[in-house]
């Protein structure tokens, strides 16, 4: 019989990405600053579709 094993993730680490929350905040702040300067990234439709698909897969695996 297999037993479920709890995975302990420190509070300062994002559970989904495994990236420290401070680093995620820095990345978000940099991205928002780029957008404010009009330097945002451009993604084609195929890239957006892949991103949406990946996010759906992550949500459904929970």
Give the pLDDT score at 22. 93
- Would you say 20 and 12 are in contact if contact means Cβ atoms under 8 Å apart? yes
Tokens of 55: 């996010």
- Would you say 41 and 47 are in contact if contact means Cβ atoms under 8 Å apart? no
What's the rounded mean pLDDT across residues 18-45?
Answer: 85
Q: What is the pTM assigned to this prediction?
A: 0.51
């Amino acid at each position: 019989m297999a037993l479920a094993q709890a995975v302990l993730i420190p509070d300062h680490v994002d559970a989904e990405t495994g990236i420290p929350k401070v680093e995620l905040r820095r990345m978000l702040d940099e991205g928002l600053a780029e957008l404010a300067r009009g330097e945002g990234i451009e993604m084609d439709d195929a890239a957006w579709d892949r991103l949406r698909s990946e996010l759906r897969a992550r949500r459904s695996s929970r």
